[in-house]
Amino acid sequence: MAGLTPDTPTPASLTLHGQSRVLEISFSDGAHFRIPFELMRVYSPSAEVKGHGPGQEVLQTGKRGVSVVTLEPVGNYAVKPTFSDGHDSGLFSWDYLYFLGAQQERLWREYEARLTHAGVSRDADMPAAAGKSCGSH
């Protein structure tokens, strides 16, 4: 994901479905995805989740019921969701949303493997201090 280029597909439509907790997005190249809010939350591109370098990622748990409370446009290249758990520091560029949609089966498998490796469940509460070292919430 090197960033936006003139060839990067752009959203043709974007709809939040609160009850089913999915972001439905269609792109200019005809691709159409339904991305669960939980997947967006656990793969947020924020430093709070990704860390500041390799090996600093913070495994997100307890996000199955998370909702998107607001979705703000950021220029012509991204959206900034505010999640029901207060997380609001991730900017989701069009190419990153495309990646999440196109790769969601693989990403779910990787997430489940990370949970298993850590010995925690998807629904476990987050440790109190997790993700707070960056000054974000």
Give the number of domains in the chain.
1
Q: What is the mean pLDDT of residues 62-72?
A: 96
List, in sequence order, the alpha helices (H) in 10-57: 37-42, 47-50
pLDDT of residue 56: 86
What is the rounded CA–CA span in Å between residue 110 and residue 106?
6
With residue 135 as reference, give the H or E element that holds it: none
Give 136's pLDDT tier (boundaries 50, 70, 90).
Answer: very low
pLDDT, residue 40, reads 98
Q: Which residues constitute the domain of residue 22?
A: 11-118
Cα–Cα distances in angstroms (integers) from residue 101 to residues 22, 37, 40, 41, in the given order:
11, 11, 10, 13
Identify the H or E element spanning 129.
Answer: none
Residue 126 lies in a domain: no
The answer to whether residue 53 is domain-embedded is yes
| Predicted pLDDT at 5 | 72
Mean predicted confidence (pLDDT) in 112-134: 79
135 domain residue, yes or no? no
Over residues 35-56, the pLDDT tens digits come to 999 999 999 999 889 988 888 8
Judge whether 54 lies within some domain: yes
Helix %, strand %, coil % of the chain (to 5):
25, 25, 50
Mean pLDDT for all residues in the chain: 89
